[in-house]
Amino acid sequence: MKKYHCQEITENLLNKEIRLSGWVSKRRDHGGIIFVDLRDYTGIVQLVFNPEDKELFLKAESIRSEFVIEVKGIVSDRLEGTINNDLITGKIEIIVSSLRILNKAETPPLKINDDNVNEDQRLQYRYLDMRSDKMQKTMRFRSKLIQVIRNFFYSKEFVDVETPILTKTTPEGARDYLVPSRVHPKEFFALPQSPQLFKQTLMIGGMDKYFQIAKCFRDEDLRSDRQPEFTQLDVELSFTDEEEIIQLIEELFALIFKDVMNHSDNLNFQRMSFTDALKNYGCDKPDLRNPLILKDIKKLVKEVDFKVFSDHVDNTNSRIVALKVPGGTSLSRKDIDNLTESVKQFGSKGLAYFKCEDISDIENGITSPIKKFLNTTVIKSILDEVTASNGDLIFFSADSMDIVNSSMSALIKELGARLNLLSEGWKFLWILDYPLFEKDGEGKPTSIHHPFTSPMDTSDLKEKNIYDIPSRAYDLILNGNEIGGGSIRIHSKEVQMKIFELLNISAEEMNKKFGFFLDALSFGCPPHGGIAFGVDRLVMLLLGLDSIRDTIAFPKTQSSSCLLTDAPSSVDEKQLSELSINIIKSVK
């Protein structure tokens, strides 16, 4: 007898005897008749137990929620008036002739498909949570996405190569997860932060088109969109350039949207320079659905005798911006106070603003706590600069470049969401022309992308100011989220050593940490480049989920533990001594 899934039972099977198995979603016992909703991943179908068969009926009385059962029965029309239009299978039911209880179940601690359960409960009982429609849909979507991605790259003759999980620690970047070596006491493997050096080494090895769905590990603090272990789609090609990679990836996303998202319209990919992104949006991942943009007004306020502005007028590392919010006068004083409070976490000291009630009457039509510092000419020039209309609110921020950018980009995001300013749809954006280096917290140069990124022109390395050297890096942004990034790489040993040198990595350290790679570069490395995408984050975005955890079967909590298995856990002394490890006794 053929086996079916619940949702496959339709009128086509009327009067046929079928076999079905699944979980008991609900039992409704009317004394003389028992209904059971049987559930599998496809959905629900109603079973009917009639009292004529006493043994069968008795057994049906004993079943409870989440029992695993197998039934045989006849697919029947529902009686007049008992059709349930809320169920796809609501026109039929199964009159059960035999029941096997394959397994009992304790009363579950959470209800399947109850979307109002706390996440720690869901993670502790992930196997129950996973029975829900939502998790089933997400995990199957993810699988389909990966299938489409793999097929795309196979069809283009890319080679899928697995790279090591036990590898070498790297000096830059995130904290490594370390694995002690038993065979080599006092030495450690590191889990890969990404397969970067391996994929470049594959290029040197003549694997001219490579891709991998790769697990990556970074021991840093978590966020709703960051897990310590995550999945990357990793891609690398030899003899390539930016344009070929961009075309390849746009083609991939066209396929993903067609086959996985059932999205028929053409996708819209725009491009923007890193400089323009920072200038207009204060960040390198603007959401193009959001119409709000920043306007620099330093020139307009240079004569203004107002300390908040004048402190920054002559500082080249400072920015003074205006942000016009159309219809923003609807924000209450309390709303504005809350927004002011929320930008403070980025180091901003406050938010000044104009309320534009009547822009033709600057005397009375513009209200602002800072109006007394500004003359009519300055106010007028600001209104012109942002092309203000009646009903607009204009926020001002003056501070160091970093603080203005981070606080105002957050404000743009917040206002866009709160005032419903976002347009519909999917906005892809390539960010190009990144500089090679930026200053780190200690004022030292650090790679914006990573130290294997090629400069646009190698002669710049000698001639230009280190922070003005353009790189060949690119990022792909989708609706304000970074989904991937890559670069054309350095393929010359000399250039690579020069970059390390600029990063203050000593010859000795270079040799110790990257010696193998520098050697490899010297044996005929083809020009190459690539890109990597965060698969978990992509699934989250495409499905509109709030957290990356919902896209991962067994995710970690914010403190990097697994509530299902209770990992991490302490280990036996014996295990430790085999690894030559002593636990430092905590002073506390």
Partner RNA sequence: GGGGGUGUAGCUCAGCUGGUUAGAGCGCCUGCCUGUCACGCAGGAGGCCGAGGGUUCGAGUCCCUUCACUCCCGCCA
Site for RNA in 136-165 (CB under 7 A): none
* Contact map string, positions 50 to 69, toward RNA, x by CB under 7 A: xx------------xx----
Least CB distance to RNA at residue 206 (A): 22
Closest residue by Cα to residue 123 from 565, 474, 424? 565
Residue 141, CA distances (Å) to 160, 238, 244, 369, 421 in order: 21, 31, 28, 51, 29
Q: Which stretch binds RNA (CB under 7 A): 105-113, 262-270, 303-311, 416-424?
A: 105-113
Residues 412/281, Cβ–Cβ less than 8 Å: yes
Contact status: 564 vs RNA (CB under 7 A):
no
- Window 461 to 520, contacts with RNA (CB under 7 A): none
In the chain, the largest separation of any two C-alpha atoms, in whole Å, equals 95
Contact status: 46 vs RNA (CB under 7 A):
yes
* Contact map string, positions 526 to 555, toward RNA, x by CB under 7 A: ---------------------x-x------
Per-residue burial over 552-568, b = 16 or more CB atoms within 10 Å of its CB, e = otherwise:
beebbeeeeebbeeeee
Contact status: 170 vs RNA (CB under 7 A):
yes
| Residue 526, phi then psi, degrees to nearest 5 | -75, 155
Contact status: 232 vs RNA (CB under 7 A):
no
CA atoms within 13 A on the CB side of 137: 11
- Window 433 to 452, contacts with RNA (CB under 7 A): 441, 446-451
Q: Which stretch binds RNA (CB under 7 A): 76-84, 138-146, 277-285, 331-339?
A: 76-84
Q: Which stretch binds RNA (CB under 7 A): 43-51, 149-157, 316-324, 521-529?
A: 43-51
Amino acid at 412: I
Contact status: 578 vs RNA (CB under 7 A):
no
Least CB distance to RNA at residue 53 (A): 11
Residue 465, CA distances (Å) to 284, 437, 460, 548 in order: 22, 10, 8, 39
- Window 397 to 426, contacts with RNA (CB under 7 A): 406, 410
Least CB distance to RNA at residue 190 (A): 11
Contact status: 200 vs RNA (CB under 7 A):
no
| Residue 364, phi then psi, degrees to nearest 5 | -110, -20
Applying CB under 7 A, among 84, 375, 389, 506 the residue interacting with RNA is: 84
Contact status: 238 vs RNA (CB under 7 A):
no
Residue 384, CA distances (Å) to 10, 377, 549 in order: 65, 10, 46
- Window 12 to 41, contacts with RNA (CB under 7 A): 26, 28-33, 35, 37
| Residue 299, phi then psi, degrees to nearest 5 | -60, -40
Pairing of strands 318-325, 393-400: antiparallel
The DSSP H or E segment spanning 188 is strand 188-190
Residues 558/229, Cβ–Cβ less than 8 Å: no
- Window 249 to 288, contacts with RNA (CB under 7 A): none
Least CB distance to RNA at residue 140 (A): 23
| Gap between the Cα atoms of 552 and 196, Å rounded | 23
Contact status: 327 vs RNA (CB under 7 A):
no
- Residue 409 exposed, middle or buried by CB count within 10 Å (0-12, 13-18, 19+): buried
Least CB distance to RNA at residue 241 (A): 21
Contact status: 48 vs RNA (CB under 7 A):
yes
The CA-to-CA distance between both ends of the chain, in Å, stands at: 67
Applying CB under 7 A, among 13, 88, 101, 117 the residue interacting with RNA is: 117
Query: Toward RNA, which CB reaches closer, 163 or 356?
Result: 163
Contact status: 132 vs RNA (CB under 7 A):
no
- Window 328 to 357, contacts with RNA (CB under 7 A): 345-346
Contact status: 561 vs RNA (CB under 7 A):
yes
Query: Toward RNA, which CB reaches closer, 220 or 468?
Result: 220
Query: Toward RNA, which CB reaches closer, 341 or 457?
Result: 341
Query: Toward RNA, which CB reaches closer, 227 or 238?
Result: 227
Q: Count of residues binding RNA (CB under 7 A)? A: 71
In the chain, % helix, strand, coil (3-state, to 5) comes to 35, 25, 40
- Window 201 to 230, contacts with RNA (CB under 7 A): 218, 220-226
- Residue 106 exposed, middle or buried by CB count within 10 Å (0-12, 13-18, 19+): exposed
Applying CB under 7 A, among 38, 43, 93, 198 the residue interacting with RNA is: 93
Least CB distance to RNA at residue 62 (A): 9
Computed on alpha carbons and rounded to an integer, the radius of gyration of the chain in Å comes to: 30
* Residue pointed to by tokens 């991998």: 212
Query: Toward RNA, which CB reaches closer, 101 or 313?
Result: 101
Query: Toward RNA, which CB reaches closer, 37 or 40?
Result: 37
Amino acid at 117: V
Applying CB under 7 A, among 168, 173, 263, 513 the residue interacting with RNA is: 173
